Amino acid sequence: MKTTEPPAPVPAESSAAVAKAGAPAGAPSRKTKEGGALNVFSHGILIIWAIMVVMPLVWAVMTSFKSDGAIFSSPWALPDKLHFDNWSRAWTDAHMSDYFVNTVLVVGGSLVGTLVLGSMAAYVLARFDFPGNRFIYYLFVGGMSFPVMLALVPLFYVVNNMGLLNTIHGLILVYIAYSLPFTVFFLTAFFRTLPASVAEAAFVDGASHTRTFFQIMLPMAKPGLISVGIFNFLGQWNQYMLPTVLNTDPDKHVLTQGLVQLAVSQGYKGDWSGLFAGLVMAMLPVLAAYIIFQRQVVQGLTAGALK
């Protein structure tokens, strides 16, 4: 009696190849159709979002070159004539030049101090093991969740008792303390991605910890420094609550305070074109900083994931 052996099982790769060969040529797969529809939908959402973000900016720039009458009679039309006197009037008569200089001094000093102190603290927390390391790290992380509104009253008295109220350097110190938690949190994760072999080689060659940090590790962390620097710059440049509480001297107002003062005065003067010119002046440095460093920001955010 002859026995028949059962057919050998067909490998999964062969069955998939047969199924693929049996499909009609040029027919798109189901996954391709779904992916194409999802791409169209996502691109449509991104286009709508870009229009919602860009249009107010374009309208503000366009309005800053109009006359007061044209702003109300034809708000959506292009200016019939470029009124550059709006910008000169806002820069001189509205004292936007003084506010701009004060803002540059405050933000520049606080940004440098935040990056230097934050990078040093983050490097120690990321590279050295010592008792209390994680406790100090979580203190900085907890500082990110503490709302600054709750600290305004005690902060006012602390700054006043130190004799730093209504001063530029006092506002710089407050900005540094306000920005340090996020800076340390961001840079600690970034320093952990850097290769430890480079620092070990520097120690073998006789370099000190200070020289290793400033000449080797800090240049390697440049993408992360630029990324966190841009975030701090945006937050400090647009800060309004802290200067309002700690800086009541009109001669030392920053741009946000100057814009509010200019907007309030419009009820009596009606200089709306000057108000929009001042608004664009305050907005341009932020846009320029992001446009110039946008590639470095993306590199800094993705460096940890790629390594």
pLDDT in tens, 233-256: 988 999 999 999 999 888 889 999
Return the amino acid letter for 128: F
Give yes or no for residue 118 having a pLDDT over 50.
yes
* Choice between 119 and 68, residue whose per-residue pLDDT is larger: 119
Give the C-alpha separation, 119 to 210, whole Å. 12
Instruction: From residue 52, give the alpha-carbon distance in Å to each of 59, 60, 63, 234, 279.
Output: 11, 13, 17, 20, 18
Calculate mean pLDDT across residues 278-297.
Answer: 83
Calculate mean pLDDT across residues 17-30.
Answer: 51
First to last CA, the chain: 67
Calculate mean pLDDT across residues 87-101.
Answer: 87
- pTM for the model stands at 0.79
Which of 119-133, 177-191, 269-283 comes out lowest in average pLDDT? 269-283
- DSSP letters for the chain: -PPPPPPPPPPHHHHHHHHHHHSPTTPPPHHHHHHHHHHHHHHHHHHHHHHHHHHHHHHHHHHTTS-HHHHHH-TTSPPSS--THHHHHHHHTT-HHHHHHHHHHHHHHHHHHHHHHHHHHHHHHHH---TTHHHHHHHHHHHHHS-GGGGHHHHHHHHHHTT-TT-HHHHHHHHHHHHHHHHHHHHHHHHHHS-HHHHHHHHHTT--HHHHIIIIIHHHTHHHHHHHHHHHHHHHHT--HHHHHH---GGG--HHHHHHHHHHHHHHH--HHHHHHHHHHHHHHHHHHHHHHHHHHHHHHHHHHH-
Quote the crossing angle between the two packed helices 168-193 and 152-161, to the nearest 10°.
Answer: 120
- Percentage of the chain beyond pLDDT 90 is 36
Contact 175, 239 (CB under 8 A): yes
pLDDT for residue 47:
92
Give the C-alpha separation, 36 to 34, whole Å. 5
pLDDT band at 272 (very low <50, low <70, confident <90, very high): confident
Calculate mean pLDDT across residues 179-205.
Answer: 89
pLDDT in tens, 156-175: 999 999 999 999 999 999 99
Quote the crossing angle between the two packed helices 30-63 and 272-306, to the nearest 10°.
Answer: 150
* Choice between 178 and 291, residue whose per-residue pLDDT is larger: 178
pLDDT for residue 259:
86
- Percentage of the chain beyond pLDDT 70 is 83
Give the architecture (CATH level 2) of 85-306: Orthogonal Bundle (1.10)
pLDDT for residue 18:
43
pLDDT for residue 306:
47
Which of 22-26, 102-106, 265-269 comes out lowest in average pLDDT? 22-26
Displacement of CA 303 from its chain's centroid (Å):
16
Give the C-alpha separation, 96 to 277, whole Å. 10
Give yes or no for residue 269 having a pLDDT over 70.
no
Residues whose CB falls within 8 Å of the CB of residue 255, separated by 6 or more in sequence, listed in order: 96, 99, 100, 102, 103, 237, 281, 282
pLDDT for residue 93:
81
Give yes or no for residue 297 having a pLDDT over 90.
no
pLDDT for residue 172:
95
Residue burial 214-242, b: 16+ Cβ < 10 Å; e: rest: eebbbeebebbbbbbbbbbbeebbebeeb
Give yes or no for residue 307 having a pLDDT over 50.
no
pLDDT in tens, 122-145: 999 998 989 999 999 999 999 888
Calculate mean pLDDT across residues 282-288.
Answer: 87
- DSSP letters for 6-34: PPPPPPHHHHHHHHHHHSPTTPPPHHHHH
pLDDT band at 12 (very low <50, low <70, confident <90, very high): very low
